[in-house]
Each structure stands twice: as structure tokens, then as C-alpha cells.
Chain A
Amino acid sequence: MPESDSEMDLRALLAGEIHQIGERAPSSLKARLYSALIRKQRESGPLASLNTSVAAGHALCVFEELVHIAPVGEKAKSPFFCEICHARVMAERFEHPPIFWPGCPYVDFRKS
């Protein structure tokens, strides 16, 4: 059945409300989703050690680097250190948090 003019206008109006090209998720939303997914991952066992991240070519933040070079076992390098970091807290709450050091995923969310 062909659409009436009225129907076509309504379709154009409602369907026409498309998103802007290149629209990205807010960084604070990414930060919250990341923290939530990490918690979900921990439900089935510890995260990979920081050594795994380094071996895969990822950069560590200054705090993670300290743990990475410390003479401790793999198990001690597995916790989610961001849980107690103020960068996570700020990134989850603010769109432009004043955090700048490299290797921090919460800083990278702001840039991406």
C-alpha cells in the first residue's frame, strides 16, 4: 500500500533525526563501561598480569610500571590497580578530567 504524503513526511521527520558523522561516546561513559567490564572479567578469575600487557606492546602508566618492575610474582601484578586510583574516579565523573600521564586508559578515553 503506498504511503500517504502525511506518512512520508512523518517518516522523513523521524528517520531524518540521524546522528552526526563522527559522533563518539563521551569519555566518562567509556570510563564507566571499562571499569564495569573489568569487574565483569574479574568474576571469572584474575586479570592477566601486567607482564602480559607489556609483552603485547601496551604502555603502562607510571603506577603500573612501578609494580611491573618490582621483584614480585605474577599474581601480585594481576590486580586492577586503577580501582584505587583517583584518575579512574575523576574520569568516570568528568568529561575533561585533569589527568595527563601516559599509559593510563582513562586518559586515552579522553583522547579517543
Chain B
Amino acid sequence: MNAQHQPQMPETTEGAEEQRLVSGVLAKDRKATAEFVSLCADWIYPFVRHRLVPRAELVEDLMQEIMFTAWQALPSFRGDANLRSWVMGIARHKLEDHYRKRIREIEMPEEDDSLLELAVMPGFEHLLDLADRQKKVQETLAALPEAYALALIWQYRDEKSVREMALLAGKTEKAMERLLARARESFKKRWNNA
């Protein structure tokens, strides 16, 4: 890694600032690196944290991985997109990798399929307080088998289709649909029982 970076001519002040920062980081200027870390951490943290809930202990490891990858890929940053979009693209890929690996690795919990249709839709509307609702969502997700929580977050927060999820996780669409159905029912049951 060295300072052989030849950025395109930036068209805006913001672009020029970003190119100055990138050049500094590539030259291993510690102060530029501090600025880079501070900016990237603020961009990535909310995104990663809310997609790893309830596994908050994984946030730092994943953020570090994203940061290292961004630093290693920085010579390829040409300023076509702004730095934030570029870094967030790396974060999305890393998070997707995480979901994919975990869903592939995790053994699917065995549950009685006859119970799948029995869970009654929870009374979400009765929880008027947003903070209480968020807390309960986190607690309910934390109580689920990991594969279920990941599948729900992947689909509803990242808005992945079943087909995309199946493709990325190396499963059939049918298997992914089944996993999601079980995850939804499990979520509802635990929500009702909480």
C-alpha cells in the first residue's frame, strides 16, 4: 500500500476534500487516518448495529473488518461516487457475507410444523410507545434461534427477496421460504408470550 494513488480531478469542494483525505490515508498520515476512521465509523455504525441486533457483540468485529477492507481497497477509490456511498457499499457487502455465512452454517432448529399456523397475529398496535416497542422487538429477536432472527432482519430490514436470500445462502427458494415462515411464526409466538 503506498501513495501512488492518482485521483480523478474532483469537481466539487467536497470531492476535493475527500480526495485530500484519501491521499492522506494512503500516505499513512496518522491524522488523516483518524479523520477517516471518525467519518467512516459514524456512517457505518448505525447501519451495522441495527442489522446485527440483538448480536451487539459482533458490531465491533464487523466494523473493523469493514474498515480494514476499505483501507485495502482505497487505492481503487476514484471519486465517481462520494466516499460515503463507496464505504457504505463495502459495509453492505460485508454484512451480506455475514448473513450468508451464518445462515449457511447454522443448523435449522427442529420445530413442530403443525404449530406453524397456530400463532395469532400479535397486537402490535397496542404498543404505542416507540422505545418500548423497539425494546420488545430486540428482546423478541434475541430470544429466537439465530437463523430465524437473521432471516427476519435480512428480509425486513435489508428488504431482500426470498430468491436473493436463497441464492446468497446457497439454499433453495423453498427452503428459504420455509425458514422464513418458521421465523415469522416463532417471532409472533414469542412476542405474544413476552
Contact = CB atoms under 8 A, between A and B. Distances in A.
Interface of A: 5-7, 9-20, 23-26, 29-30, 32-34, 36-38, 40-41, 44-48, 52-53, 56, 58-59, 80, 82, 105, 108-109, 112
Given A15-B159, A19-B46, A46-B28, 4 more contacts: A10-B187, A29-B41, A45-B28, A47-B30
A30 B71 contact: no
A14 B71 contact: no
A47 B157 contact: no
15 contacts: A15-B157, A19-B46, A19-B49, A33-B37, A34-B38, A36-B67, A41-B33, A47-B29, A47-B30, A48-B29, A56-B29, A59-B31, A82-B30, A105-B31, A108-B38
B66 to A, nearest CB: 9
Interface in B26-61: 27-34, 37-38, 41-42, 44-47, 49-50, 53, 60
Given A11-B156, A33-B37, A37-B37, A56 B32 contact: yes
A27 B35 CA distance: 13
Interface in B57-76: 60, 63-64, 67-68, 71
B137 interface: yes
B71 to A, nearest CB: 6
Contacts, number: 118
Given A11-B156, A30-B37, A30-B41, A58 B49 contact: no
Interface of B: 1, 20, 24, 27-34, 37-38, 41-42, 44-47, 49-50, 53, 60, 63-64, 67-68, 71, 121, 124, 133-134, 137-138, 152-153, 156-157, 159, 184, 187-188
A17 B33 contact: no
